[in-house]
Amino acid sequence: MPDVTRILSAIEQGDPQAAEQLLPLVYEELRRLAAQKMAQEKPGQTLQATALVHEAYLRLVDGAPVQRWESRGHFFAAAAEAMRRILVENARRKGRVRHGGDLRRDDFLDHDAGVDALPDEVLGVNEALAKLASEDPQAAEIVKLRYFAGLSVEDAARVLKLSRATAYRHWTYARAFIHCELLGE
């Protein structure tokens, strides 16, 4: 990849178009590197590999002091380090109480009832669903379609003739409602 080395030199010398030329050449390799980093993370990450690549790339080429890279390998090592720092910052942010660090994620409604759920869970969800139906019938319908029929939120929205945003709002509310019912809160 002699083009990468040439473009890295142009970035060092302050060529504003050089950064735009670099991304298409290194994107796939950076994406693979980001996917490897994300595979090492715990499940439930909100940060996607693509967003990680973009953030790392911006940190590498938009820095106030222009970076100096001796080679293509040095550039990718710097990219890996930038990705590591982004993941660490993200983990620290999520660990703060302000961002829900004292709460634990529970994906109990994110699977098909017929496949993964325990009988007690299905019965508990059914009871909570009856209470939810009296408060918010549309939210209860979303739960039925998602949890018992295995539809995606988008598919449930189409079936119920709701906007995607409305369906997600009902789904979020229903999950919280049912979770509180199952915990007896």
pLDDT at 114: 47
Task: Give residue for tokens 């910052």.
Answer: 89
**Token code pair at residue 169:** 């709002």
DSSP state at residue 103: S
Q: Count CB-CB contacts under 10 A for residue 146.
A: 24
Nearest of 150, 74, 141, 79 to residue 112 by alpha carbon? 150
pLDDT category at 168 given cuts 50, 70, 90 is very high
Look up the pTM and report it. Answer: 0.46
CA–CA separation, 80 and 68 (whole Å) = 16
**Which has more pLDDT, 44 or 150?**
150
Instruction: Write out pLDDT tens, residues 7-40.
Output: 777 777 777 677 677 777 777 777 777 777 777 7
pLDDT digits (tens, 9 = 90+) for 49-63: 788 888 887 887 776
